[in-house]
Structure 1
Amino acid sequence: MTNDDKLPQVPARTALRAAPLATLCLAALLAAGCAAPSHTITPEMQARAAAENPAPPKDEDFPAPDTAKWQQGAFPSLEALRSMRTGMGKDQVRQLLGFPHFSEGLGGVREWNYIFHFRTGAGPAYLTCQYMVRFNADVLTNGMYWKGPGCAELLRPAAVAARQVPPAAPAAVPERTTLGADGLFRFDGRTLADLLPEGRRRLDALADQIQRSARPVSAVRITGHTDRLGSADYNRALSLARAETVRDHLVRNGVPAQALQVEGKGETEPKVQCSQSRRAELIECLAPNRRVEIEVVAGS
């Protein structure tokens, strides 16, 4: 009796059952891109992956969708995609995105490719994108790339907010706005540099309202006024300069210059009359006369 005769004999039926199992194991390896057993990721490895910054692929570098192993693709979680970073291992990527949809090869796989779909509304319509994940020599992600118009924008929070938040309703512009000069300008000021922070904010808000007006604006009339202190010529020049400064600020904020009209009326149209003998009290009483009036004329 030879040594071979002493070995247990495997029934033919058992050997046949083992063959499909081996095939399934091989298929699993192919699906996983033959990922090596999990290994520890160190901060030094992650730093290398973040510093590599490889050149992005061209569109022709992505595999053709009809060559995918799983051509149906998948509907991924946007939050999972937003969690993708450089320096991640294959196990971590697989947990977020699942197995790649293409047969990536057997050994040393450095690229995983996916076909992802994103709903575009309440119905069955969707947008299809390709997504590529590349790995470096440490088998950590060092680049994630999209193919398809508008695909990369899907992950930007601003783009998501723009799809979810309805557009703002057109603004209702007041027909007449009166701004006190004391709140607009520094004392005796008249230039853009003399505008006070609160005055700037109020003019910014008015410019925004004019531009978002529910009705077209044909004209914006800006009229400056002063109190009676000082000479008539000085007050007329001061009121005109302040009206021009308001005009210039509105233009800087997008209001069409051709719609703006300016005028300075000095002290000729007071809103209050005051007779205090003390100058400080008189100046305070005359404050309503120091103003800039803005009239918005809507078109037909």
Structure 2
Amino acid sequence: MENTNKIVRGIPLALCAAVAMVAVLAGCTRHVSRDITPQGQAGEVVFPAVDRIVLKEGTFPTLEALRQIGPGVTRDQLYQLIGRPHFREGFHAREWDYLFHFRDGDQVVTCQYKVIFDGEYRGQNFHWLPAGCADRLKDRPVVASDPKRFEISGDALFAFGRSGLEDMLSGGRDELLKVANELKALDASVVQVVGHTDLIGSDAANLELSRRRAETVRDFLAKSGVSADGLSAHGVGEAEPVKQCDDKLDREALIACLQPNRRVEVVAKGFK
């Protein structure tokens, strides 16, 4: 009788453990939208309350990354493009939710973004709250006009061989602020930042340095109020020199001669 009682008493304990485990798993795989089909359609799209977010501050995604997302996207691809979901949604959840911020001049606009997966966990449907946030992914029309170019000496912007914001010289900051104000007045739909170096050093090192400098300038312009929608950055290393120098010069003379090649260009297009 005693053994029977133990078995009977053990059943509720086992059930409680199982229920607890289910609850834990449910907490990792829950979703808030209703009636999600194997094809990734939701009978009712529901966004989670913002106060339930795990990544409290949300993130600032790039429009370029968001434009690459479409039906069939995998979770690994989403993770690479826009990061992990911002709410408590595990690998087996049928939807991932994000809290995104976008800069509009001096203002910050916040949007919620949802990806709903099919039965094979590939993203099939994508939703925004407010719905108008989806308009940000539309390509801005480029108005035919001659590009406006701003060229800044790399040596005036950064300490030699450096590329970070903390390495930017005060004179370079002042010059970039003037460029940012002109760009805001132009309201260009496309702004390209291009980094250049001289030929001293390896091709790979020069390409990397030019890219980092261009990205630092891009980020500075965005923080200074230039719209990030059409703002991009890339480096070309030593590939586009504006001055040729005799390679027989000693190192100091060669560095001085090649100075015009060490530059950052900002090219504005698509303005009235």
User: TM-score, normalising length from structure 1?
Assistant: 0.41
User: TM-score, normalising length from structure 2?
Assistant: 0.45
